[in-house]
Chain A
Amino acid sequence: DSGVTQTPKHLITATGQRVTLRCSPRSGDLSVYWYQQSLDQGLQFLIQYYNGEERAKGNILERFSAQQFPDLHSELNLSSLELGDSALYFCASSVGGGLARGGELFFGEGSRLTVL
């Protein structure tokens, strides 16, 4: 158990709809990262938040948005969903920018989104 909690684990929805994925980081971790893993693909970085502020953006579509709340949990909002948005969405956390505790990211189990 990594200590990172993601909900829901599975989600099936229709094209054009909007969904929200939720992530609770490990206790004490200030940074949250979102990654997308499409079928048979690697992990694509979407966005990073640090202590409530956006720190970095990757290949995140304009239809997607995220935020990190004062209690440090984060939500990834996906709207106007398309078939190609079907993927496994991972949240990961770390203590913050820099070295602490070995530098690795701790991953949640992912939210599997299926768009029909």
Chain B
Amino acid sequence: AQTVTQSQPEMSVQEAETVTLSCTYDTSESDYYLFWYKQPPSRQMILVIRQEAYKQQNATENRFSVNFQKAAKSFSLKISDSQLGDAAMYFCAYRNYGGATNKLIFGTGTLLAVQP
């Protein structure tokens, strides 16, 4: 079974600085998706960024980028120029490419605080 591990329960960053959130996963599949979701205090689940495993190029969305290391099964999220609005719980998630079921499997989350 696939698993997702986030080893940093909490992180803190100064406004305008850069922070990296870590995520590792385990799977025997070769094709899959990886995601970072953000959950602010409103508790809404917001997609931050996605990565398809077959793509070697790391995904980037504005100030958010990932470092995808397929062989190491590592998928970290880098937030540049951190803003107060980035403060939230961040979940790393895995999803099979297809198959009988393709539910999203979440890590336990990293709570990010942004200091002014």
Contacts and interface: CB of A to CB of B under 8 A. Distances in A.
Interface of A: 33, 37, 41-43, 45, 48, 55-56, 58, 88, 90, 92, 94, 97-99, 102-107, 109-110, 112
Interface string B78-116: 000000000000010001011111111111110000000
Contacts of A110: 43-45
Q: Chain B, interface size: which category?
A: 20 to 34
A103 B103 contact: no
A55 B45 CA distance: 23
Contact of B103 (A48, A88, A102): A48
B99 A45 contact: no
Given A99-B97, A105-B104, 11 more contacts: A42-B108, A43-B45, A55-B101, A88-B43, A97-B101, A97-B102, A103-B50, A103-B102, A106-B47, A109-B44, A112-B43
Dominant SS among interface residues on chain B? loop
A42 B109 contact: yes
